[in-house]
Amino acid sequence: MLTIGVDVGGTSVRAGVVDADGAVLDTARAATPGQDEALESAIAGVVEKLAARHPVKAVGLALAGFITPDRRVVRFAPHLPWRGAPVADRLTARCALPVVIEHDANAAALAERRYGAGSGSGASASVFVALGTGIGAALLIDGKLYRGAHGVAPELGHLRVVPDGRACPCGKRGCWERYCSGTALVTTLVELLADDPSASPTLARMAAVEARGITGRHVASAARDGDPLGCRAMAELARWLGEGLALIADVYDPELVIIGGGVSGSAPLFMDEARDHYARVVTGGHHRPLARIRTAQLGDEGGVIGAAALARDRCRAR
């Protein structure tokens, strides 16, 4: 059975036709509009293009936001215009195909469990952590997604790790994602530059001339080249990842943690140090088994593949 997975991001809508083995056979893309009607038209457009070329049976949408437990309504999506919107029903009518929606971290976690870093792991409890602009997360128990009573669990990125720390767009201060994400990497670098611009003339010059400022990719590239401030910023991210992994272990005691998201592409720069820090600070670390920590394998396609898999599951259940 072929299904379509659609990853609805803040800047682009990416869709793919996916088979039962998790292979992406065809893709389509569109820009993300800022209004409900235009966004749904863009999604319907990419679905119609792919459905015209392949005998697809259902559609899954992956997006960052709060989804109702029945995966029909988007309660809130910070980077999209939907608020309490019955997206699944509206798109089902427009596309003439069954549509299901899911949090993008949940979709990617399911994809990694079935086809990627978690495949064959046998883990009864596993956590997926997506390090991107912020932090997305998912929890799987016996291979099934745990969404909580109201469909929004687990919001690990907004665990407060520093009382009265860095301001977060969620309204709190000191959230984990303010210290461990692509955005956090840049914030840390800017703070280090403010203390000593001469420590990295290259990044100081870049910060002065770049129209959009330094990005996480700039920092990672500098760290790869041995830039001292780039390396220090990456070491801070590693430390905070280790702290967060210890919190996850204390709460969930997972067998496996998979690190995904855009920042995971730079995993060789921070993953070993994060593992070591996690082992040092987790409660009773010398007297308990530690979680296996792996890097995601499916990259940017994880959300598309997972959303398509969920759509396939829904069809089979019916």
**Three-state secondary structure of 198-228:** HHCHHHHHHHHHCCCCCCHHHHHHHHHCCCH
Instruction: Give, in order, the Cα–Cα distances in Å from 170 to each of 155, 160, 265, 266.
Output: 11, 11, 26, 26
H-type alpha helices, 253-301: 271-281
Nearest to 135 by CA among 78, 76, 80, 182: 182
CATH class belonging to 121-296: alpha beta
Q: Which amino acid is at 67?
A: I
Nearest to 213 by CA among 224, 227, 203: 203
Dihedrals phi, psi of 228, to nearest 5 degrees? -60, -40
Strand pairing of 135-141 and 144-146?
antiparallel
Positions of the chain with pLDDT under 70: 208-212
Average pLDDT, the chain: 93
Distance CA 155, CA 80 (A): 18
What residues form DSSP beta bridges with 85?
74
**Burial of residue 294 (number of CB atoms within 10 Å: 0-12, 13-18, 19+):** buried
Q: Which two tokens stand for residue 303?
A: 């959300």
Place of tokens 């692509």: 182
Q: 87: which 2 tokens?
A: 């997206």
In DSSP notation, 57-124 reads EEEEEEESSEE-TTS--EEE-TTSS-EEE-HHHHHHHHHTS-EEEEEHHHHHHHHHHHHSTTTT---S
User: Where are the domains positioned within the chain?
Assistant: 2-109+300-317, 121-296
Give Cα 95 distance to the centre of its chain: 27
Question: Can 2-109+300-317 and 121-296 be said to share one CATH topology?
Answer: yes
DSSP code of residue 149: T
Residue 284 identity (one-letter amino acid): G
Question: Of 92, 82, 135, nearest to 243 (Cα)?
Answer: 135
Report the C-alpha gap between 246 and 160 in whole angstroms.
14
For residue 61, which of 299, 304, 301 has the smallest C-alpha distance? 304
Residue 3 and residue 196: Cα distance in Å, rounded?
53
User: Architecture of 2-109+300-317 per CATH?
Assistant: 2-Layer Sandwich (3.30)
Confidence at residue 318, expressed as pLDDT on a 0 to 100 scale: 75
